[in-house]
Structure 1
Amino acid sequence: MFNYCLLLSFLGSNFHGWQIQPNLRTVQGVLEDALSLVFKEELRVIGCCRTDAGVHAKEYIANFKASRCLPLPNLLKALNSILPEDMGVKKVWLESLDFSSRYSVKGKLYIYRVFPSHIRDPFIEPFLWRIPYSLNVDAMSRASELFLGTHDFSAFAKLDEEEKNPFVDIEECSVEKKDGIIEIRIKAKRFLRYMVRRIAGCLIYLGMGKLNTDDVREFLSGRRCPYTAKAKGLTLERVFL
């Protein structure tokens, strides 16, 4: 048995997230269909995390086990010849059989991009949330520091049966403006469902002046955060092994 690992990249605009869902186009579903053509058998792919519908990934790690040994360059070429244009394989390698992309990765970096402008640029529009409001970047940056460390993020997430632990250790949370686009960077080993988008939404509404740091502290103390940033502005930027 061989444990293959893939470094993927995909545009989330036309996907209903990572996880297979009946009658919906998902990253996992499209990838497993492609692998079944290459290996001539049905294979189950494990992903490093779930992504919401519309969320993008520059780096995404997945693994699957198969009994056949295929040359890695041939596998990469075969997959990229089958996969649609909004998805691709950057790298293929082998790991030990106990490696799981879901549990073995050491961290994930998400970047949320928001563009406070009336200008519409179709070349960047699919990858950010454009809002017609000015944002106080300094206030957002100061507030982002409140998320650092270990907190109960129940108020920022939708917990399910698979994920019962609401405590997450945030290693990085920062806000920076680059060429007019505001980037919210959040790094941790694991995240809860909707957590990153709700942290981003919280900081964006704070930047609008509709929230203050006391509100953020109350959210971290258990008051429900009602603000969820649009999915298209979020990109899984990097996965750390």
Structure 2
Amino acid sequence: MPNYVLLLSFVGTNFHGWQVQPNLRTVQGVLKEVLEKIFQHPIKLTGCCRTDAGVHAVEYVANFPTESFFDTETLLKALNSLLPEDVGIKKVWTQEGFNARYHVKGKVYLYRILNTHARDPFLEPFCWRIPYKLDFERMASIVGLFQGLHDFSAFAKLEEEKETRIHVQEASLIGKGDLIEFRIKARNFLRYMVRRIVGSLVYVGLGKLEPKDIEEFLSGKGKCPYTAKAKGLTLEKVLL
């Protein structure tokens, strides 16, 4: 039985996240519908992670087993001819035993902040535009606090009991004029974790939080109430 793996990308603006939800447009729902049209039987589609409504992906990995066989290049062409313009398939291959949920080795998320009153319609759908002046140096000075093994429960929306200690391999903040880019790399993430980390960085930049507050959050105390807008978040890379 072939196990197909898809490398895809999507603009999350008009999606309610990845996971299928009743009466809502989701990436998994749209992709599953097209796959079932091609294969003419139900498809069990597994994604590498959940994404919130409005979040984008430059790279996303999914897989599905099927008893039918399609040449991978033919399937790539068929999918891209039928999918809407806000979803694109980059690569298709078969890999026995691969499960997108469990076998991905890590992910890199990018969050973009546009710190200006000016509006750029080419960036607006993919960033959080903040017109108030942020202290970039102050923000950059605490980014290193997020690296390493910490209890990120203060930065997460916990829907069920789960491990809240996450090892962040890399975290960086880069300024490119008015554009601020935050990147974070880890094997796995908690829900809202990246958006609340960015929210806390912004509040540090506004002078409304101190470094000691971040340290307290990272010790598992309290709850970070500041959640950055979804549209600024992009799953940039999936490590296989």
**TM surpasses 0.5:** yes
Give distance in 2, aligned partners of 1:179 and 1:45: 41
Give distance in 1, aligned partners of 2:34 and 2:157: 31
Give distance in 1, aligned partners of 2:196 and 2:185: 14
AA at the equivalent of 2:231: K
1:11 equivalent in structure 2: 11
User: Alpha-carbon deviations, 1:59-115, whole Å to 9, x = none?
Assistant: 00111111111000100000001100000100001111x211111111100010001
Query: Which of these residues, 177, 180, 183, is aligned with residue 182 of structure 1?
Result: 180
Shift of 1:130: 0.3
1:61-140 matches, within 5 Å, as 61-96=61-96, 98-140=97-139
1:153-172 matches, within 5 Å, as 153-161=152-160, 164-172=162-170
Give distance in 2, aligned partners of 1:63 and 1:26: 16
AA at the equivalent of 2:165: F
1:33 equivalent in structure 2: 33
Shift of 1:4: 0.4
AA at the equivalent of 1:119: A
- Stretches of structure 2 lacking an aligned partner (at least 5 in a row): none
Query: Which of these residues, 199, 202, 205, is aligned with residue 200 of structure 2?
Result: 202
AA at the equivalent of 1:123: F
Shift of 1:212: 1.2
Shift of 1:136: 1.5
User: Alpha-carbon deviations, 1:4-61, whole Å to 9, x = none?
Assistant: 0000100000000000100000000000001000100110111111000000000001
SS of the residue corresponding to residue 13 of structure 1 reads helix
AA at the equivalent of 2:11: L
1:232 equivalent in structure 2: 231
2:54 equivalent in structure 1: 54
SS of the residue corresponding to residue 89 of structure 2 reads strand
SS of the residue corresponding to residue 237 of structure 1 reads strand
- Stretches of structure 1 lacking an aligned partner (at least 5 in a row): none
**Structure 1 runs (4+) greater than 2 angstroms displaced:** none
SS of the residue corresponding to residue 117 of structure 1 reads coil
Give distance in 2, aligned partners of 1:236 and 1:203: 19
Aligned residues: 239
1:21 equivalent in structure 2: 21
2:190 equivalent in structure 1: 192
AA at the equivalent of 1:181: L
User: Alpha-carbon deviations, 1:203-227, whole Å to 9, x = none?
Assistant: 1111111111011011112111000
SS of the residue corresponding to residue 110 of structure 1 reads strand
Give distance in 1, aligned partners of 2:135 and 2:168: 23
Q: Percent identity of the aligned residues?
A: 61
2:216 equivalent in structure 1: 218
SS of the residue corresponding to residue 109 of structure 1 reads strand
Give distance in 1, aligned partners of 2:117 and 2:222: 33
AA at the equivalent of 2:28: Q
AA at the equivalent of 2:133: S
- CA-based RMSD: 0.9
SS of the residue corresponding to residue 108 of structure 2 reads strand
Q: TM-score, normalised by structure 2?
A: 0.98
